[in-house]
Amino acid sequence: MAEFPQRENDILRLGDKIASGFRDNPEVFPNPLVSPEQLDARREEFFDAITTASAARTAAKLATKHKRDVLKQYKSELSDALRYAESATSSDNRKLALVGWGARRPGKTLQPPGQVADLDIDDEGRGWIKLIWGPPPKEVGKGRVKFYEVQRTRFGEDEWRIEGATTDTYIRLDNQERGVEWEYRVIAANKEGRGMDSNVVTAVL
């Protein structure tokens, strides 16, 4: 007995064959529970849903990029404001406390970096995916990033494996097994250790 398909293209192909078979052979299938017209309409609805999902994902990517750009500008302006405060107060901790800050402490030992920000899928295709993320925010006690470790696991499993490493805040992963629901995460690292796991993104390639 044939098995019901799981891939989208195979499902669409089967739907076309069923609708065509019902339509061309009324003597064999006089009263189908689902008419060919209904199957055709549902197929068109599915294609409309694909278009809607694609537009929503594009809008989400643009919104995420805008958020990242605004945050970057905000951090730059905050840094400028703090440099001014340090200059105006001669790095007096008591006065800097008025703006929620303190003088820099020299001689800090190296620490692991912080958590990667806003991991997202930038693009994907047949057997490949491009991931993008933001660097960890500057935090007291957190070290600088030397590289990023990209990990992958099957959805629902807990065995994460290293899929790549980079010094950039993006990576393209090729030769990804198709038809599998993969989860990806990114971890910032340096000689001292690794930061917290990023958020997880999921894709079926």
**Does the structure show a pLDDT above 70 at 104?**
no
For the question of whether the overall pTM of this predicted structure is more than 0.75, the answer is no
Q: Which residues pair with 162 in a beta bridge?
A: 151
Dump pLDDT digits (tens) for 13-49.
Answer: 999 999 999 999 999 999 999 999 999 999 999 999 9
Question: Which pLDDT value is given to residue 90?
Answer: 87
Q: Are 147 and 189 in contact (CB under 8 A)?
A: yes
What fold does the segment set 117-204 form as a domain? Immunoglobulin-like (2.60.40)
Question: Which pLDDT value is given to residue 142?
Answer: 86
Domain range annotation of the chain: 8-57, 117-204
Find the mean pLDDT for residues 102-129: 85
Instruction: Locate 59 and state its tokens.
Output: 């809008």
Residue type, 43: R
